[in-house]
Structure 1
């Protein structure tokens, strides 16, 4: 699978670094438009060829006209498009109407949707999933089964080793605040704190579920 990440700013570098550890990944930085209003959107042919090579296209393009142009020209050339930067429900509905386009509220809330190409990507990147090992009420190891595209789940996982199980999910949610998450920057006219809280809750939930599975596994071993 090939994942192409396109941006017109500084966003997407961490996602490229994280995703490239699992899939072939290419990072393309386009020139940012000089105006918020564009009559004609020019995309170099060489850039289009690079973008068309994607199975998954992830856009961190902030300019709405450029984003729309990319979706219109590429939706039938690639497997799936994930629009990581967008504004307004009207815009979201417009681009998602192409069928193979997703505008997530947050890049770390991606989950499988039944499309094989999208699901292959999301089996590795999206809503955090972790497994924990523990001994004497402390975390001895954390395995990241699915990380947020920016890699923050690995950051939190490392921070949780050696911590007490009691209060661990809340601590995981708090620690994500120390990772330089850019999710709030991806959406204009939204509540930054709400976005941070969303990312925190996803990681809190991931560790809550991991503890439940670990406790269930321990009980089964004790029965046997």
Structure 2
């Protein structure tokens, strides 16, 4: 795979360095650094398109804010790439309207906006999927006998935090690993924004935490906390499924809240972020946060 990267700012630099350190350096056919101090709105963004663009299979654009992102599909087209990944780490980075504009400018190119980058999964595109096999939504294998004996990283967050977390939860009681993984993500630290994203109702940093906690839960086979729907009081025929509408995980494409045969909500304890937004939004008070062991 030939990977061409367009990068800006500290976030972009960190991702580039992490990917190179984790084995992608030989796949990088080019790196274009974009200044951080560009205006949010740019009339003539084509002036920032590099004069020399190598042939590439996949374009990765990290850390760009505002209209400068419009150069990404242009670069993809000139490089011959048919696939683009644009991670979103800040709600101000690429508003929904700009996302649509980028997509509409290059309908022939597969463009994925991964929010956060560590939620990326295969999408059915050859090169995005090749990238996502190694980098994206964390996946772990854990050996445990009550204590965490060994943690193997199957897929890492592109920033490298998954390896850091894996190293730091070894030796812990298994029932503490889920919570500690979120703490270690902050310690790494995660560079995603702590500003609430209006599109999802939560912060992108929290979303990143939900991904690594899920990886730990699935590897251990249990979760220690989850929101739970009381189907005795859930009024599915009256409710507009507010829990689904407002779940941050659902908003980024994860099936955290689904419906059973009675059209009542069911919350997946593996991917539940325990943000309590569904509890606040349920008009019938049918959802509670439970702290107990949920077998997966």
TM-score scaled by length of structure 1: 0.81
How far, CA to CA, are the matches of 2:194 and 2:3 in structure 1?
A: 22
1:36 Cα shift?
3.1
Higher fraction of helix: 1
CA shift in 2, pair 1:17/1:33, >3 Å:
closer
The match for 2:35 among 31, 37, 45 is: 31
Please show how residues 32-111 of structure 1 align to structure 2 within 5 Å.
32=36, 34-41=38-45, 42=47, 43-46=49-52, 49-50=53-54, 53-75=55-77, 77-85=80-88, 86-97=93-104, 98=107, 99-111=109-121
Is contact 2:196-2:204 (8 Å) kept? no
Distance 1:10 1:124, change over 3 A: same
- Measured in 2, the distance between the counterparts of 1:192 and 1:56 equals 31
8 A contact 2:114–2:120 mirrored in 1: yes
For 1:27 and 1:73, locate their aligned partners in 2 and report how far apart those are by CA, in whole Å. 12
The structure 1 residue matched to 2:151, chosen from 125, 130, 142, is 142
Higher strand proportion? 2
Q: Which runs of no fewer than 5 residues in structure 2 stay unpaired?
A: 223-296
C-alpha offsets along residues 58-84 of structure 1, whole Å, 9 cap, x if unaligned?
A: 112434222112223424721311112
Task: For 1:93 and 1:152, locate their aligned partners in 2 and report how far apart those are by CA, in whole Å.
Answer: 30
Question: Is the Cα contact below 8 Å between 1:132 and 1:142 reproduced in 2?
Answer: yes
Residues 38 and 190 of structure 1, relative CA distance in 2, 3 Å threshold: same
Question: CA-to-partner distance for each residue in 1:96-142, whole Å, 9 max, x for gaps?
Answer: 3434111112101001111111111100000000001123x111211
Q: 1:212 aligns with which of 221, 224, 240?
A: 221
For structure 1, the residue ranges without an aligned partner over 5 or more in a row are 214-224
* Number of residue pairs matched by the alignment: 208
Counterpart of 2:137 in structure 1 is 127
Please state how far the C-alpha of 1:34 moved relative to its aligned partner: 4.2
CA distance in 2 between partners of 1:72 and 1:165 (Å): 48
Conserved? CA contact 1:184–1:192, under 8 Å = no
CA RMSD of aligned residues (A): 2.7
The ranges of structure 1 where at least 4 consecutive aligned residues each deviate by more than 4 angstroms after the TM superposition are 185-193
TM-score, normalised to structure 2's length? 0.63
Contact 2:139-2:156 at 8 Å conserved across structures: yes
